[in-house]
Amino acid sequence: MTEMMKPFEQMTDEDYADLGLQSGLEIHQQILTEKKLFCRCPAGHYSTEYDAEILRHMRPTLSELGEYDGTALMEFKTKKEIIYQINRETVCTYEMDDTPPFEINQSALEIAFQIAMLMNYKLVNEIHIARKQYLDGSIPTGFQRTTIVGVDGFIPYKNRNIGLIQLGLEEDSCREVSDIGHRRVYRTDRLGMPLIETVTRPEMHTPQEVADVANILRWLVKSTGFVRTGIGSARQDVNVSIKGGTRIEIKGVHRIPLIPLLIYNEAMRQRSLLLIRDDLRERGITESTFKAETADVTHLMTSTQWDPIRWALQHNEKIACVNLKGYSGILSYPTQTGKVFSKEISDRVRVIACLTRLPNILTSESTEETIGSHVWNRIRKLFSATSQDALVIVWGNEQDLQTAIQEIIIRAREAMIGVPGETRQALADGTNGFERILPGPERMYPDTDLPPLEFPPERVEVLRKNLPPPIWERRTRYRDAGIPNHLIIPIAASPRALFFDRLIEANDLSPKFCARIFFEKIVAWRRCGLPTERLTIAVFSEFFGKIVSDPSLLPNAERILRQFLTSDESLSIIIEAFSPISISHDEILSALVDIDKTEPPKSPQIEANIRYFIGKLMKRFQFRIPAKTVLPIVGEFVKNGRRS
């Protein structure tokens, strides 16, 4: 086969153009409401405690066209027990059962419209609720209620616009707690919370452009102050295809900086899968000549010392082998950074046959020390396999083993089509793994529980008036106000930006100073583990109010806030303690004499000594005397040879 792709760091824009890379984004962002979208349960109340558990099994039904949806069939094959942990405070019979919905949450709807306006969407004038099928168990009713608020929007990027397909308002799904073997556990507190979904056109040409656009979209929605922040409140899906490949959706990207590497790895995977397909064609392997044989090889393995198989034997599991005729070299073909084609097979075995203990397969192309060549020889003999063939060994209980064998054959056969349609899961190392078979296209159908809802132009106009300025406008304004470059985006994208704007507009405060306190110090303090969540808008209001009325507090501003974070005292008591005191010239002088006696400076330099004495004095008077009062006294003292 042809040479490998360049390492990630060496890829150029031209390389991606040659690959025909196309990539788009789906941004999911929880919006900030008190209640959920279609019931009156509270939103954003997360807890690990639960009052009850509900067990469900998923069962596929035939669609109206008489076909099984790919996802449905897959979920059925997994024979999962789905457990929902429910807490009576955060969930009701609407989310868990078929209780009809309440009217849509109006404040969620208004926020969705406002965000749609910021993204230049064409707004709908009537809300139609639809049901979107979800068969993985993450939504107990099997469908999500969703509505489209705007279509055909755009955001400016570089010298062009990036098209946005649609903005949806929908319900969030359950939080997954664990997924081991045949048991998947969900928490239901997040279920039904309002979420907006923005879908871009695949108009980004390099992985970095995708990350840039993801950032702009995230900043834009965050800057409104209308959305939730914190872990899990925003998730991205990235879709990727290359020339000749398939549009693959990578789900659950939590960190934007990971996007470029994820896209690189998916581009590489698709390129490799296409090369594998071509190779198989050249070998003359087609749908009709494809051949796979299976056999029970438990009896050939009884003396193996390799841990995974020894463990399986100790637990009375069976061991099977699949011989893939003519597949030699395919299983070890590199597909992503540090991964080879057999990982595609292992993933299917893990997800669909629920053999979650890894490694779950062993191939004849493994380079690691595993089961010894004499065992391989005996297995080859059993199949009369040649050096052209490739073997996959798999182990498990009888039922899961049968599913696993089928999945190994299915995935090996799919190598002939190149890139099979799947959704994939982002992994922390920048690669991705199989998540599920692509659902069929008929996932949406109208919801008959709720009538269409008119959204009149007058209501749109009121919302438009209260719209915060888009991030690109703020960016220019902050730049003009002299705010340091590295703080401009964090401020423009912050939900505190509105407060910040009002603050510097209404008061004679330096934007630079406020920006530093508000967006730089606070981050530094959070990193030191200080409880910065105590610095609420109310605290900041009080703090800046005091600073405005008494500018002499200004030099101690950071110390005041820091002390507030490290002590239990109220802000007003701390401010009181830092308020300037009047100290006479003589008191300062005698303090200087005392410092010189007890802890004299070591440097012979006058300038260094002046700084030294000022520092000591400030500490001694707890920073409550202004430096400009102290400076001339210290200067005189030092220059006079430290005699009072």
- Which of residues 94 and 434 has its CB atom nearest to Zn ion in the complex? 94
- The minimum distance between CB 131 and Zn ion, in angstroms, equals 17
Query: By C-beta, is 92 or 583 nearer to Zn ion?
Result: 92
Select from 41-49, 276-284, 314-322, 345-353 the region that touches Zn ion (CB under 5 A): 41-49
Taking CB under 5 A as the criterion, the residue among 54, 92, 453, 509 binding Zn ion is: 92
Least distance in Å: CB of 400 to Zn ion?
36
Among 5, 31, 41, 256, binds Zn ion (CB under 5 A): 41
> Could you give the residue ranges of the DSSP H alpha helices within 283-372?
307-314, 342-351
Which CB, 36 or 424, lies closer to Zn ion?
36
Token pair 């009538």 is found at 451
For Zn ion, the closer of residues 90 and 236 by Cβ is 90
Could you tell me which residues come within 8 angstroms of residue 100 by beta carbon, excluding any fewer than 6 positions away?
Answer: 94, 449
Residue 434: in which H helix or E strand, if any? strand 432-437
Beta strands in 270-378 (DSSP E): 292-296, 318-324, 334-336, 339-340, 361-363
C-alpha distance across the termini of the chain, in Å: 88
Query: Shortest gap between Cβ of 434 and Zn ion (angstroms)?
Result: 33
- Nearest distance from residue 92's CB to Zn ion, in Å? 3
The number of residues that bind Zn ion (CB under 5 A) is: 5
For residue 102, the minimal CB distance to Zn ion (Å) is 9
Three-point CA angle 345, 346, 350, nearest 5°: 120
Measured from the CB atom, is 95 or 435 closer to Zn ion? Answer: 95
Q: Is the dihedral of CA 552, 556, 562, 564 positive or negative?
A: negative
The tokens for 183 are 């048991």
Q: How far is the CB of 109 from Zn ion (least distance, A)?
A: 17
For tokens 């009850």, the residue is 52
- Going by C-alpha positions, the residue among 159, 278, 206, 199 that lies closest to residue 20 is 206
Which range in 94-102, 303-311, 357-365, 488-496 contacts Zn ion by CB under 5 A?
Answer: 94-102
Q: Which of 5, 39, 174, 553 binds Zn ion (CB under 5 A)?
A: 39
Nearest to 114 by CA among 483, 459, 513: 459
Site for Zn ion contains 577 (CB under 5 A): no
Q: CB of 188: closest distance to Zn ion in angstroms?
A: 9
DSSP 3-state of 433: strand
Which of residues 37 and 263 has its CB atom nearest to Zn ion in the complex?
A: 37
Q: For residues 267 and 358, give the distance between their C-alpha atoms in angstroms, rounded to a whole number.
A: 26
Stretch that binds Zn ion, among 36-44, 214-222, 325-333, 586-594 (CB under 5 A): 36-44
Which stretch in 34-42, 114-122, 225-233, 347-355 sits in contact with Zn ion by CB under 5 A?
Answer: 34-42
Task: Pick the piece of the chain touching Zn ion (CB under 5 A) from 86-94, 106-114, 437-445, 563-571.
Answer: 86-94
Residue 131: CB atoms within 10 Å? 18
Q: How far is the CB of 58 from Zn ion (least distance, A)?
A: 22
Local structure of 121: helix, strand or coil = coil
Is residue 193 a contact residue for Zn ion (CB under 5 A)?
Answer: no
Minimum CB distance to Zn ion smaller for 169 or for 321: 169
For residue 305, the SS3 value is: coil
The three-point CA angle 357-360-365 to 5° equals 150
Q: Is the preceding omega at residue 359 within 30 degrees of 0, hence cis?
A: yes
Nearer to Zn ion, 30 or 224 (CB): 30
Per CB under 5 A, the list member of 29, 85, 87, 94 interacting with Zn ion is 94
Cβ 348 vs Cβ 434: under 8 Å: yes
Please report the beta strands in 65-174, taking only residues with DSSP state E, as ranges in sequence order.
81-86, 122-123, 126-127, 129-133, 143-157, 160-171
Contacting residues for 123 by C-beta, under 8 A, at least 6 apart: 113, 116, 117, 149, 150, 455, 460
Q: State which residue, 38 or 121, has the beta carbon closest to Zn ion.
A: 38
Q: Supply the minimum distance, in Å, between the C-beta of residue 86 and Zn ion.
A: 10
Q: In the complex, what is the shortest distance from the CB of residue 124 to Zn ion, in angstroms, rounded to a whole number?
A: 26
139 binds Zn ion (CB under 5 A): no
Neighbours of 168 (CB within 10 A): 22
Q: Which one of the spans 84-92, 118-126, 332-340, 377-385 is the region binding Zn ion (CB under 5 A)?
A: 84-92
If the CB atoms of residues 94 and 578 are measured against Zn ion, the closer one turns out to be: 94
Q: Which residues bind Zn ion (CB under 5 A)?
A: 39, 41, 92, 94-95
